[in-house]
Amino acid sequence: ENGILENAKSGALIIDMSSITPQTSIDLAKNAAAKGIRVIDAPVSGGEAGAIEAVLSIMVGGEQADFDQALPILEALGKVIVLCGPHGSGQTVKAANQLIVAVNIQACAEAVVFLEKSGVNLEAALDVLNGGLAGSTVLTRKKANFLNRDFKPGFRIDLHHKDMGIVTDAARNVGAALPVGAVVAQLVASLRAQGDGGLDHSALLRAVERLSGAQI
């Protein structure tokens, strides 16, 4: 009531950069169209650092003409900007992004504990791993977090918990099995339940350490 759709002028273009369910974006676009208002869903990836550096990846759902009109604004925020399909497609790709990131962080966290317990020089190991097929943006951006146990939030566990709920629900709706994703979603939920929801998602390392007998 008394929201954007009740007040925006007919013909306006709404750029929705929320991370929400694909169906919510589809419903929003339909409700907006009934009032002559256009919408694109344009969630982002890249975290706080990507926003500060204006190098976000922006995944968009909507009409080509609306994407073209919004592009100059999006180019001020991001580096990789792609129209992924109709309304809701941006949210679907964002959900997939959060799935990949969570699984990647979990794998890195397990590797960190394995390496340390094996007596390997952790920094050297992470450097060489990041130079091969195991390398990733996650490992590049979160290396210092792992080395220093610095979990000051760039992207909080609470938010990733929300996003894992979105991806598991959306996958169920389309009949896609996410066996590894479902496990990591539970690990994220467990970490949040232990009071670490306000920490950076690299704090998944804390959960692996607890499982491995560390006193945290």
Q: How far apart are CA 189 and CA 106, in angstroms?
A: 13
19 within some domain: yes
Interval 47-90: pLDDT, tens: 888 899 999 999 999 999 999 999 999 999 999 999 999 999 99
Say if residue 83 is in the same domain as residue 29.
yes
Q: What is the span of the domain harbouring residue 34?
A: 4-87
Q: What is the mean pLDDT of residues 6-22?
A: 96
**Is residue 158 within 8 Å of residue 199, measured between CB atoms?**
no
The last residue of one of the domains, among 87, 120, 147, is 87
In the prediction, which pLDDT does 86 show? 98
The last residue of one of the domains, among 57, 87, 117, is 87
Interval 101-135: pLDDT, tens: 999 999 999 999 999 999 999 999 999 999 999 99
Vertex 160 angle, CA 45 and 101, to 5°:
55
In the prediction, which pLDDT does 47 show? 83
Say if residue 80 is in the same domain as residue 98.
no
29 within some domain: yes
Say if residue 164 is in the same domain as residue 192.
yes
Active-site residues, by number, are 94
Say if residue 81 is in the same domain as residue 182.
no
Of the chain, the end-to-end C-alpha distance in Å amounts to 47
What is the reported pTM? Answer: 0.92
